[in-house]
Structures are given as structure tokens and as C-alpha cells.
Structure 1
Amino acid sequence: MKESMSSVDIAAIVIELQELLGARFVKAYQPGREEIRLKLHHKGSLDLIIEAGKKIHLTKYKRASPRMPSNFAMYLRKHLSGARIAQIRQLDFDRIVEITIERWDKKLRLIVELLPRGNIVVVDEDGIILLPLRRKSFASRVIKVGELYERPPSRADPLTMSEHDLMNLCKQDKDIASVLASELSFGGLYAEEVCAKAGIEKRRRAGELTATEINAIHEAIHTLFEPIITDDKSKLKAHIVMEGEEEIDFVPFELSSYENREKRFFPSLNDAADEYFSTQIAEVVEEQAKSEHDTVVGKYERILNEQLEARHKFELKEAESTKKGEMIYVHYLELEEMLQEPGKKKKVVTLTLPDTDISLEIDTSVSLHKNAGAYYDKAKVFRKKREGVEHAIEMTKEKIRTEKEKEVRIEEELIPTKKEVRTEKVEWYEKFRWFETTDGFLVVGGKDATTNEILAKKYMEPNDLFFHTQAEGAPVVIAKSGGKEISKSGLKEIAQFAASYSNLWNYGFYEGECYCVMGEQVSKTPPSGEYIKKGSFMVRGKRNYFKAELGLCIGIEKPFFQKESVTKERSYKETHRLVACPSSQKDKLDIFVEFEPGDDMDKNALSNEIRRFFVDRAENKEEVKRIATQEKILSLLPPGKSRIKGFS
């Protein structure tokens, strides 16, 4: 999984950030130790996120701002307030971005180092450091106030390099992929892509390449990075690369290395990077909350183990003392004879009974009866200690049960939330996949592990119906029945909806099995000693199974009326929504495409085809473009490839 931006990502991002030229600086925040957020105004409000050593991009997500601004944020507010962005550029092909900011009284530069151990530095026109985010010292440079800013040692720029310079660079006894990755700052991914485009085996020794092969590499570099070399952002095809439900990378254009991976396309690399890193932040916050929860449980479990060991020790000592007291009475005469032997006149003697390994400590100043009583008294002491520990064990077990039943507490304000300006009311279920059965029951399905978790925890009632398949990666589907009976045809529709969004579709099945239980049968509490991963649940009790044919429709609803204002005089407007539903529901759609599992088209191609079909047949094409965006259509498609079955 990618943790920071590459030189290629930065080059593409900087092309897109040219739209910020002329933007006015409004405010600065420092939400993290290495991160700042610049609030800008340019044809509306914009937020630019910069994290030293990691990323720079515009964001549509909002995060809680610190109650007290940091010294660095206060400095930026004081010296940049009202200033405008005059220039944004990448320094050569390095992971360094320079933002020039001008105000009537000064001209400053914000230097953003996105390489490991990077920094964010404010310098004046002469390059003197006014304030760094962090004071740092390196072998070749020092980052502190008053020093002349010196950038890290630079490498060759592959985008401006001549074929002759590339030939000289290749005079090394290393494989060509390593040379391109390290010497030209491509990294392994793009170095291998260049080799593949040039038709050169990546393990070939660079010094053994012919002039023709070096020419092929030079041409491959210019072909692959043409959108960056020509500053043409229209040629970028930004997308996030998926591995199952996990986002593993984001790239500015398609690469052969990810040819067979599922992809989510975005209008810009800024959008893709924003989605990718914001998802990472949410996952980190959730993991930290889970770790803190597990730490509390683990503490009590360690205490319980210590208490169980103590109980076992007291049980052994109690049994031993009782047995020794009994042995005194069993061997009473023998012990009296042994005490009469020479050398047994000490106050306390240790005697070992014949044919046993039991040693008894006998106080010769009192009778054997009193010695036996002393052992019985010891047994009572150990028994009381054991009983005390057993009480403590029950209390600790109760604490463990209580902690495990608690939900993991997540600091919601730490999770980025998307800033959306909506002109229409959006119902809660529209954040998920949904439809209404023929008999009018609302059915809502999750899109991934996170939405599965939210749907089951927040919106499922005990008397709702819970649908799921045994296939891994299946969505949670709930029917908001409110305890009312759903017809057989309605249950069949819900089962088809649940089965179609499971991995059964990805595996190419045309039919699958789905089960149904009451909401009260579903729990996040695992059996003792077990763990339930995110998005999964425990289902207890009887299940009802259904056979379901796989198949879906995506379409635009027939018009319905939605309240537009909350004034005394009610006004309404005609509204359309993009929905996905079982094939039997297509009569409710104004226009639709019906599809089934197949090998014809992947999700990206299918979403383009569906959108083109809707726009071509629409009277109000601009309205349909707004409703049926490619991103919305992609979110409604099942996993894997599909075949169009029909349309209307």
C-alpha cells in the first residue's frame, strides 16, 4: 500500500494545481505534527492539504481544527493573510514543490519537501529561512531560522534528459530497472513500466544495452509521461487501484502492471489522492480505537491469568496441609517411635514417613494432636485465600465481559468527512445501495466493510430482516420490515439483490444461495477467545435459505415529488434518482439497463456504457449527466465483469 507520493504523482498534481494561481490565502491550520491545511479562496473556498514527507493535494474532506493554532500556523496567518499564489512548481523531478506567494508588502516562498524526513519551510526572496515546520540537521544542510535554504542533492530530470545523457547514465553494472528507479527517481513501479513499454527485460545489465535499446527506453519515457511533459491534464486518467476491497495505490494514468486490477476512476489526481489518503486516515483512527479497546481487555486478561495461577497455588497448598494433618493421625504410633530415636530432641524436627516422600515438620514441644491441628489451621488459611481469589476471578471475568460488549469508541471528529453542498434533501439510505420491494418495504445494502458495519450497528432494528450470503465479501442487506410480514415475491427480490452484490457475481455464477434472519439474531459479540473482523457479524439461531437468480438493473426512477422548502407554503419539485434494483423492479424505472454476470465488460467499461446510454436517450441531457455520474454508477455496480442483458 502506498504511503506517500512519488515524483510522478507530484508532477501530475502540480499540473492540476495550476488552477490555484491567483488564489487568495485565507487561513492556515496545523491538524497534525507534520501536516498543514491552507484555506484558500479562488472561485469558491478551497482547502490545500500539505504533509511533510508524504502528500500535497486539494481536499473535499473536512477535519476538526485544533482549538489552539500552532506557532507555525500563526506565523503563516500573520505573514500570508490576504496574499495570493503567484507560482506553483516542482523543482526539477524531485519530490519538492515550491509555492510562491505574493502580497503588496512582501514575496515569500513555501517550500514543501515530500521526500523522507521532509519539511515545510518558509523562505524570503533571497532564500533565507524565515521559519521551518521542524528544525533539522543533515550532513549537507541545516534547516533553521536565518540559514540559507539548501535543497537536498538533486538527481537527473528524466523528462528533460537527452538520449546522450541517458546513454552515459546507463554505463553502470546494475540492472536497468534499478538504474531507472534510483537514478531517475522513477521508483520500481514506473521503472518497470518503462522497461515493459520499451520491450527491455528489466533484469538486463544497463551497461550491456545497445544504442537501439537505449533509444527505445528514451522514447518509452516520453510516451509514458507525455501528459506531464506537455502539461496536458486532459490526458491524465487518474484512478485508485483496488485489491479486493482494499485501496493499494493511486496513479495518474493507466499502467500495464495494474492491467488486471479493479480500478476506481476520478476526474483528477487531486480527487484520487484525496479519497485514498482520507480513507487511510479513517482506517488509522479506527485501528487506534480498536487497539485501545484491545489494550483494556488485554490488561484484564493478564490479571485473570495471574489470579488463576494464584488460585491453583493456594489449592495445592491447602490440599498439602490437609493431607499432612491426616497423615499424622494415620501414622500416629510410628511418629511417636521416631521421635524417641536419638537425635530427635530438637524443638522442630523434620520427619519423612516410611515408603512415602511426605516430609512433616513436627514441633516436639507440643503433642502430635496439636501438630495435626496446626496443619489443619494452615489449610484453613489457604482455603480462605483461595476463596478470596475466586471472588476476584469472578469480578475480573465480569469486567472482561463488560469491556468486550462495549462498542469500540471512535473519535468521530478525527475521521475526515466529505464536504458536500446539497440542494436536495438526501435520505439516510441513499448513502447505501437501496430499493423498495413490490409491496413497499425499504431494502438497504452495504457497499464495503465500513458501510456494512454502520448499517448493522446504526440502522438495523431487532425486528428488521437481515440478508446475507456465505460467499466472502458479501454485503449486509437489511429489509426495514418493522416486524411486518413481507410477501414471498418481496423476499425473492431481496434475496436476488443480496446475492447479486456478493462475490458470487465475480465468480460468474448465475444463481446463488442467500439466507435470512431477524435483526435480533445478529451480533458483533464473538465467543470468548475469538475475534470478528471489521464488517463481519455473528448470526445465531435458525436461518431461512433462498435460491436466487443473479441479475440487476441500474436506472433512473420515474419522477417522484420531494419537499423543497420548509416554509409555511409548501412547494414541491419533480425529482429523479439513480437506483440499482432486482430485475423484477424495472417497471419502476423511467430508463434502465439490465445486466447479468458475464465476461463482456469490466466495471469501468460498463459504467461508461450505461452513462452513454442514459445521456443518449434523455431529453434533458444535462440533468441526466448530473444524476448519472460515472462515480455514482460505479458505486452501484456489483463486483467483477458483466454482460448487458437488456435496456429500455
Structure 2
Amino acid sequence: MMTCSRWYPIKRVFSSLDVAVVIHELKDLIVCSLVDNVYNDSTGSLVLKLRGVSGEVHYLLIKPSERLHITRNISRLGCVGRVPLFRRYLNGLKITGIEQLEFERIAVLTFGGRESYRLYVELIPRGILVLTDTEGKVVVTNKEFKGKDREVVIGRKYILPPMFRDFRKLGIDEWFEKLSSYKSLIQGLTRGLGIPPEVVNEVLSDRITGLVDKDIISEVRGRVIAFVDEVLKKPEPVIIASKNTHEYLAFLTFKPSRLGDDLEVLTFNSFNEAVDNYFLQLIPKDFIADELKTLDDELVKTEKLINDLKKELEGLRVRLNELRRLHDLVAVNYEVLDSISRCVWDTIKTSGWDYVSKCGVKDYDRSKGIIKVVLEGTTVELNVREGVKSYLIKLKSGIKECEDKIMKVDEVINNLLMKRDILRKERDEVVVPLIRKVDWYDKYHWIITSDGLLSIGGRDAKQNEKIVKKYLSDNDIFMHADITGASVFIIKCDGRIPSEKSLYEVATLAACYSRGWREGFGNLDVFWVYGKQVSKKAPAGEYLGLGSFMIYGEKNYLKNIKLELALGVSINGNYYKLIVGPEDYIRSKCKVYVVLQPGSEGKEAIAKKIIKYFTERERRLKYLDVNSIVLKIPGPSRIVGVSNV
């Protein structure tokens, strides 16, 4: 197998194995769900809001050529481009199935209800989204496509792109035939058979590099198929990250057997969760660049408009001054102008236009009836057919019109200046969103005590069973609330003795994550024993259920532990973690936090209030989602305190 000391380039698209695993998960999550609405997001993805049979809501993100998964990042949703067409056809329909074509990067969602449709999701390079009717004709697509192998146009029969056949169904002769046309085995496996590169890297031995015979190919074929079948049966979703920078480099459906010392593996409960976390780290970088470009473009346009309007305003003011001066000049010389006008009019009647200069006229335009008269060095143009009084009225009307225009342009400029200030402020406030750091123990309740000891607790009976069997050593601490129906907590002591403070911190979690919270208790006793006192063996004739254990020897009690839990955000660089514990503990580690006690308000409602409080005080928490908060809330609650920020 090949050791990877770094992952380059950063993985940005699904492999065919990724598609297979995500579809397996999506079958349980979204089949039988109704399409509540259809959107697009800031990344150009199609987002389906789905409502399950029990009322749960999921957002399915579909980005052609890249990925398909459930997302919690539902900010900046819109409905532009061709999304209204997808919305028109899909809203209210039920997802009746989802499948993968061959073992290719193409998924097909089927919809039923008032109409039946199929949505083809092409995750191949230059892939598109295509919705077809029952006859296979294209109803809507995110874009028309014309290539050498096919053409996809609305109203015509949909043609699939060229696809690899499922390599698992090909015999050894077909493998040998396809591989023989390539210079290396790696190229043949990836380009000839369409096997994902990560599978080849994991399965292929370092000793097998160049061209090989049929026996070796048969061995490789067996390894590849067995490995893929095992991953499909039991995927282990992970993210590969840099230990130094914590930058995410790749997402996989399995734990790599060997990695370089500079890389770390982050595990997740589902592939959907892993992929969503992965792209949430990549999105901010792209998002920031896009947001800055959008703001910069808008600023340039706004500045240009302001400058153009200022020039127009300057011209209007010059014109207004000219009109006012002309009006005053005419008004002062009214009798002179009126006398000249009458003289001209009489002369035209008796002698014609050729003789009007004797009336003191500088020039004239007989076709328009205009005479030009110089008054105090200024040439005044007067229509003799209308007279001086009508001329003054026109000048007043022109002055009023000019004043109104100046007022309107001035108002528009002021609005644009305010808009410019807002855009500049928004640009200055563009921040890189914090990314949730994920560790292996995040799947459990957990706390790292003031002494630096890790304690984990089960979210349910199954997890209670697992952490005791897998993680509890003889000299570790086992802790449990003195009530039936509570999380088991263990403290990994690593040869150290926990202080009273550490015991109290873990006891707070043990008490809060128990039936006592749901029933509204004010306090509970909590006991602890050493790991060697805990057994899964029941006395003769008795049976221990899932998550139940026998405790032998003396129990140590922590009395009257208050059911009060602080929940805060710990920030380290560009990463954050949601942590819980007693208020004093959380205050020492978090700038923003809330304090909860048992109450009557549901977990989701409380979570939304917490998110509002957190994001108002730390704008970088823009991707904080409700589900991650809900997992930290023991049950129906009330907020009894907040941080002083």
C-alpha cells in the first residue's frame, strides 16, 4: 500500500465510491420525504428542502460535477436562474427512490405524486442536472449541453453521458483487456476501469507498479472488489487534515491504513456529516473571495454613478444660475425689451424682417420669429410672437424645473453616498467564518476537565455500552447519576488522579444528561467508581440489558449536584468547538455562553435562541447550525444566564 505524506490537490469532487456510500445513507434519510421547496445557494448548488414522514427537515445539496449530500449550511438561499422551473415541477412531490447508475458518478432521484419525474445528477466533469418525464424527455436542466457524444436539450430524449461499466461485474478477461492498453497498472485501474484513485492507493501494493500478468491482475481484482464491498458494507467516514494547519485536505469513506506523520484522521458518524463539514471549511475561502468581489463591483458601480450624478448636478446648478440671471435681467429691462418687441412687430407688418435691425436688434431668425437683443453685455433671445411677458413666464418655469431636478439628483446622490458607506462597512466587516473543529470524541457527550483529563459520556444505551467496553480501563473513573436512565461517563485518567474539581465538572454533565433533567429535578447525587469495579457479568439467573452494568465494591458519592449546564463557544484560531460544563468552567474558556436549567421550552427552540445570541456577539459563527446545539441540550430547558459580552 502507498503511504501518503500529503494530499494534493485538495479533494473537491465525489468519486464513484463516495456516490455509492452517500446514496446508501440518503435512502434511509430522504426516501418518502416531500419536497417542501427548491432553492439555489451561494455556491451555485440546487438545494431541496425535504420534509420527512415524521416532520423532520433535511436540506439536500446538489452541485453538478462535484457533490450530493445533506447540508446544514442553509444560509444565502435564493431562487434565481432556472431554479424556479425546478421548483415548479418538484414542489409537493415525494421522493420515491434514489440509485446509482452502474458504479458511476451519476445518481438518479425518482419523484412521484401528481406527476412522476426522474432527476439525473451528473457528478462527472462537465456534468449537469436533468429532470425528465415518464417518457425520458428533458423537462428542465440547469443548462443545455452539446458535446461530441450527446446533446441535452429541453423537449428531447435525455441521453446519458458515456459511462464506465461496474468493474465489480467484469470478469478477469475484461479486466486484462482494458488494463493491457495502458502503460501502468495505476493508469489502467483509474482510467480504464474507472476505479477511484483512493481505492487504488489503498489496495495496490508498492511492489506492483508497471505492467503485470494475468495472475497479478486477478489478485488485484480480488483485492479491489473485496475492499469496495467491505466499505459499502461498513463505511468509516473520515476527513484527512493537516496536523500543523488543521486544513482539510480530503474526505473518504474509509480510514486510510497508512498516512504520513503530518496528517491526521477525523472520524464522523456519517458520510453526509463528513462531507458537509469538509466543504464548510472550503466554502468560506471561496465565499469570502466571491463576497469581496461582489462588494467591490458594487462599490465601483456606485462610485461611478455618484461621480456621474455630481457632474450632472454641477451642470444643473450652472444652468440654474444662468436662468436666474437671465430672468432678473429681463425683468429689470422689461420695458426696454417690450418696446423693442413692439417695434419689431410693427416693422415686420409694414416693411418686413429685413428692416428690424433699426429697432435695436443684433440678429434674428425669421423662420422661428426669434430676435437677439444685447442687454448689459448679455444676448437675450426673444420670440416676438409670444412677447416679453410670456418669455418671463417660461424663464420662471425653467427655473422651477431646474430646481426640482437639482433636488432630486441631490437626494439620489445622498442615498448613493449612504449606500456607499454601507458597502464600505460591509466590506470592512467581511470575516472568515469559524469552522467547527471535529474530534473523534464529538460523537459522545464530552468534557476536557480543568486538569486536562478527557471524559466521554454515552448519548444512549448503545453508546453507554460501547464506551465502557472500548475505552474504560481498570484505573479510569466510571461515573453515573444516582438515577435510572442516565449517561455513563468515564474519565480517562492516564495514570493520574482526578482532582475534586475535575470530578465535580464531570459530575455536572452526568447529572444533567440524565432523566432528572427531563423530569425537572433541581439536583441529583452522582457516584463514581474505578473501572475495575465495573462488570458486564450479571449474577446467576439475572440479565443485564444494553447499557447496564454491575458495580462491585464501595461507591463514592458527590452529593446534590445542581442540574445547571453552561454551553459556550471555545475559539482557537479559525476553529471553534461547542463545550459544556459548570458555569465557572465555561466562563474560563469562552467569551460567549449561556446557562441552562430544566424548563419547558423544546430543545430546538432553545437552540435557535442560543444561535441568535452567539451570532450577534461573534459574527464569525455564521455557520453555526441548530443540530449541533440541540445535541448539547439535555432536554426541555430555560435560559437562566448569559455571558457578560
TM-score after normalising by structure 1: 0.46
Larger Rg: 2
